[in-house]
Amino acid sequence: MIISSKSRVVFIIVIAQFLGTSLWFVGNIVVPQLPFSDLGRSDAIRTILAAVQFGFIAGTLLFALLAISDRYAPSKVFLICAALGALVNLTLLAPSVSFTTILISRFLTGFCLAGIYPVGMKIASDYFEKGLGKVLGYLVGALVLGTALPHFLNSLGVAINYKTITLLTSILALTGGLLVGLGVPNGPFRKAQQQIKLAGLSTMFKHRPFKAAAIGYWGHMWELYAFWGFVPLYITLYNTENALNINIPLLAFLTLSIGAVSCALGGHISKKTTSKSVALFSLSASGICCLVSPFLLLAPLWVFIVFILFWGAVVVADSPQFSTLIANNTIAEYRGTALTIVNCIGFAITIVSIQFVGYFVENYAPYLFLILALGPIIGVSNLIFQKK
């Protein structure tokens, strides 16, 4: 049955986004458990995470150039990509799977995610011209929970092994695709493109508010995925330095998942203030966390936990507000393309920051997150000194 109520549509999209994006960090959790040697090393994990990012970049670039979500029904695009992502994810269960096959599988998973995350935001923007920041707050919150889910499953111990985690996340992703593909029609504010217009890409970046929001988002992305990808190692450093026995996967899950609450809260606050003010506060706070992170390795346990949870909250709360600024500062016919191309460049930036953090892990472990402060500094400076 077609659902017309906006509130029900938002609920479906949020749930589907949560289910679909559970595929994102599966490789980081599953691969170290595979019955092969050397796959648990930090450089292997770094390469696997980068493969997903490269796949997402390739997917979003192609989707943007072909204006896929603006020319075709975005709900159907979401369904197809979620189904294909679920199928590709199951490659991890192949007997004696090689590292090369794993990398190809994670690349293709990232490619499919390009039709889930930005397309979900496009669907939401087709239903809301006002209050989009609040809606995207819930939507990005669902992304956060989805990416955190494998850490939670892993924290439960040996009762759930890599085979179960892989199979479960594939089922969840397929379910999310079916929910959107069969239950969400085109939004009332959707304006479809009839043909590809590449000139629209350059036109978007000539609009100063759009450009400022895009650069702010890229500064945020420099930090976000490197932090998410390596936060278990940061907690491990604290655990080792202080000779403790912390449940590392559980604290990693809490660190990521608290971002879902902050995204939703930031969406509500943006209705009373502005999306720009929420984004500025969040990006500034997370940048400060980057700078003080080495000192917190020597802090008491309760201080460390409060710090890492606060960082997990602010590091992502600006994401939906930047996406709102991007969507609201481009014309409707290019909204899906705008969100996709900005995501594409943002995730390309994450490749660089992930490699930098990986280098610090191997050579200057206590300072692994210092380099991430560069993104927030550039993003905040750009927003503050934005020309009218």
CA atoms of 136 and 263, how far apart (whole Å): 8
CATH, residue 197: 1.20.1250.20
pLDDT at position 280, please? 93
Work out the average pLDDT over 170-188.
Answer: 85
pLDDT tops 50 at residue 353: yes
pLDDT tops 70 at residue 320: yes
Is-contact 325 267, C-beta < 8 A? no
For residue 368, give the nearest of 217, 216, 221, 235 by alpha carbon.
235
Mapped onto helix, strand or coil, the DSSP state of residue 284 is helix
1 part of a folded domain: no
CA atoms of 358 and 253, how far apart (whole Å): 20
pLDDT tops 50 at residue 4: no
For residue 276, give the nearest of 323, 310, 314 by alpha carbon.
323
Work out the average pLDDT over 355-369.
Answer: 83
For residue 277, report the phi and psi dihedrals to the nearest 5 degrees.
-65, -40
The count of domains in the chain is 1
Encoded tokens for 215 = 């650069």
Q: Which residues contact 339 (CB under 8 A, 6 or more apart)?
A: 118, 121, 122, 125, 323, 326, 327
Task: Kindly report, residue by residue over 26-85, the tens digit of the pLDDT.
Answer: 766 666 666 654 554 556 666 777 788 889 889 988 887 787 777 788 889 999 999 999
pLDDT at position 248, please? 86
pLDDT at position 211, please? 85
Work out the average pLDDT over 223-227.
Answer: 91
361 part of a folded domain: yes
Work out the average pLDDT over 212-237.
Answer: 91
Q: How many CA atoms lie within 13 A of 353 on its CB side?
A: 29
% of residues, the chain, pLDDT over 90? 29
For residue 307, give the nearest of 235, 253, 210 by alpha carbon.
235
pLDDT tops 70 at residue 2: no
Least confident of 29-33, 203-207, 383-387: 29-33
Q: Is 96 left (phi over 0), alpha (psi -120 to 50) or beta?
A: left
Mapped onto helix, strand or coil, the DSSP state of residue 369 is coil
Work out the average pLDDT over 283-303.
Answer: 95
First-residue to last-residue Cα distance in the chain:
46
pLDDT tops 70 at residue 200: no
What is the domain range of residue 316?
Answer: 6-384
Q: How far is CA 84 from CA 18, 55, 60, 112, 240, in A?
A: 16, 13, 15, 7, 40
Q: Compute the mean pLDDT over every residue in the chain, rounded to the nearest whole number.
A: 82
The size of the chain, in residues, is: 388
193 part of a folded domain: yes
The alpha carbon dihedral of 248, 249, 255, 258 has a sign of negative
Task: Kindly report, residue by residue over 244-274, the tens digit of the pLDDT.
Answer: 888 888 899 899 989 989 998 998 898 888 8
Per-residue pLDDT band at 340 (split at 50, 70, 90): confident
Work out the average pLDDT over 219-237.
Answer: 91
